[in-house]
Structure 1
């Protein structure tokens, strides 16, 4: 690997303890000692691309997906085991034949059967889509080591471990729309890049927070829903539409069918988020999904919000929020034209009852 400090090419023996033998400086990540094969230079390069050369801020969740994407696509099951078992089986087999050791042939057969079993399991999809390093492990292992070495997160990356959904003040102006975003990492990204303030949008975590904001919303103020393309995300969108009749509920992504039709969208499986039978029963009852889609969802496949390129996500949401603001402004202008929120008996060009001009 290349030292991120002096840019010398280092052999394994020249970087013991994550210290360069040439410049004597420590680095954070060695591709030989972490499951994502990360190096400091790769992390910086990927972070630079995600932030559009520093134009926007991103979060650890978005960085994790971008760094995991290649390994998720590979979907390697029992890495190295099949080759090792095959070579071992062949070696032990020859040893048993030429050494006239029958018991070695049994060991050889077991090793060859193991290699064949691993290969068959790979062909059947075992291990495919399982992240070698989870989002939690990325934070507690890779980023924790980065912080120990450099004292701060990679350039352009902000902390998303707090409560990123802005708390609405009592004297705040009424929002134009509500944006539901259950993912704390994406919510932190949107808040840090100023989308809620830029468009007068209330950023909230879930349906219960939408209900609390309804009195402050204009009658046709839309509810924009961001969700993962998985069983829980699809159910969230439909629950909001059921509980908010007459209110525009806009699917702001990620769309299941759009994702599945895009070859570059790398889905993954999260064993901790595999949908329960009740969730799948409710989705099946809707009658909106094909058998193939239901099978995909039931197996725990998903495409997360953090997987959407940050610049693209921000661009789409800017457009949707701007459209929502225009529709609400038109509604408010119409209300003013018909006398809504005007003082009774006072002409438009008359004196201001508050004493102004």
Structure 2
């Protein structure tokens, strides 16, 4: 690997205990000792790409997905192992047949059976869509090691543990002093990491937006006239795609706007790398099927636990999409907001794709 400090190439024996033998400085990550093969230099490159060289920040969840993309495409069925086991099985089995040795025949047969298992696993995609390191393990592993060496997270990554914003306050408690209740908007985002990101970049203060991470935290405050619209931001998986419908049921009469992530945005593009989690419950799939919004192929994909998380969307693109949705919703309910938006007063600076 390359030392992140002196940029010298180091053999494994030249970096004992994550210390460079050439410059004597300690580094955080060794690609030989973590499942994602991360190094300090790779983390810095990922952060630069996510933040578009410092234009926007990112959160640890977004960094985790970016670091996991290659492992999400892989499977547990290695063709190299299959070929080696097949060769061993053929050779040992042939020797056993010629010499009349039963143990050799058994070993050869088992080797061929194992090789066949690897091929089947490869074809069926066993392990595909699952990161070699979970999101929680990434926080408690590589990022914790990074913090212990450098004293803080990589520049550009928001430290959620120290961030003052705590999504989840009931919306009437989040209202700014003197703000008319009818002019505010509510955004429900179950992923706390993404909620922190949206607040950290100033979306809440810019638009007077209230964030909630749990639909049960959304209520109609006493004395509210003209209930505020509720925007819903979610993962493109079985549970996320039902979230807006559940909120509409729980808040009758409230205007609920589903701003994504839509399945159509990730179903098809080759660059979109989905993830695979637990299979949804039968009643969840039944509700999706009865909605009539998804094709049989999409329902089969969702039933197997596939989905696309919000943390997979590049930060700048996510910010631009949410900002546009908030502007449209605000303009629809507030004529004054509509005039300001038309004049460009509320346009997000340097909006990206």
2:75 aligns with 75
Tell me how far apart the structure 1 counterparts of residues 157 and 337 of structure 2 sit (CA, whole Å). Answer: 39
Secondary structure of the equivalent of 2:141?
Answer: helix
Q: Give the structure 2 partner of residue 7 of structure 1.
A: 7
Name the SS for the 2:323 alignment partner.
helix
In structure 2, the CA distance between the partners of 1:136 and 1:83, relative to structure 1 (3 Å rule), is farther
The correspondence for 1:325, drawn from 326, 330, 343, is 330
Aligned-pair distance for 1:93? 4.6
Q: SS of the residue aligned with 1:197?
A: helix
Aligned 8 A contact 1:96 1:102 in 2: yes
| Secondary structure of residue in 2 paired with 1:260 | coil
Per-residue CA deviation, residues 168-214 of structure 1 (Å, 9 max, x unaligned), is 34663135311111101101111111111111111111222222458
Residues 298 and 118 from structure 1, CA distance in 2 versus in 1: closer, same or farther, beyond 3 angstroms? same
| Cα distance in 2 between the residues matched to 1:69 and 1:151 | 27
Across the aligned residues of Structure 1 and Structure 2, the Cα RMSD in angstroms comes to: 2.7
Gaps of 5+ in 1: 335-357
Aligned pair in 2 of structure 1 residues 214, 227: CA closer, same or farther (>3 Å)?
farther
1:40 aligns with 40
Which residue of 2 is the match for residue 352 of structure 1? Answer: none
**Structure 2 CA distance for aligned equivalents of residues 215 and 188 of structure 1:** 29
Q: Indicate the residue corresponding to 1:178 in structure 2.
A: 186
1:317 partner SS: helix
> 1:42/1:214 Cα in 2 relative to 1: closer, same or farther (>3 Å)?
farther
Larger Rg: 1
Q: CA deviation at 1:323?
A: 2.3
Aligned counterparts, 1:149-228, within 5 A = 149-161=149-161, 164-165=166-167, 167=169, 168-169=173-174, 172=177, 173=179, 174=181, 175-213=183-221, 216=224, 219=226, 221-228=228-235
Alignment match, 1:277: 282
| 1:52–1:104 Cα change, 3 Å | same
Per the normalisation by structure 2, the TM-score is 0.84
1:32-88 Cα shifts (integer Å, max 9, x gaps):
221111111011100111112112221110100111112112234469643553454
CA distance in 1, matches of 2:337, 2:271: 42
- The answer as to 2:174 corresponding to 1:148 is no
Given that residues 160 and 184 in structure 1 are in contact (C-alpha distance below 8 angstroms), is that contact kept between their aligned partners in structure 2? no
Matched residue SS, 1:4: coil
- CA–CA distance in structure 1, aligned partners of residues 15 and 338 of structure 2: 67
Change (3 A) 1:98 1:159: farther
Q: Name 2:271's counterpart in structure 1.
A: 264
Between the aligned partners of 2:80 and 2:143, the Cα distance in structure 1 is: 27
**SS at 1:26's partner residue?**
coil
Q: How many residues align?
A: 331
Gaps of 5+ in 2: 340-353
From 234, 247, 270, the equivalent of 1:240 is 247
| TM-score of the two chains, using structure 1 as the length reference | 0.84
Question: Could you tell me how far apart the structure 2 residues matched to 1:65 and 1:182 are?
Answer: 17
- Contact preservation (8 Å) 1:82, 1:119: yes
Displacement of 1:109 = 2.2
* 1:111 aligns to 2:111 (yes or no): yes
The match for 2:58 is 58
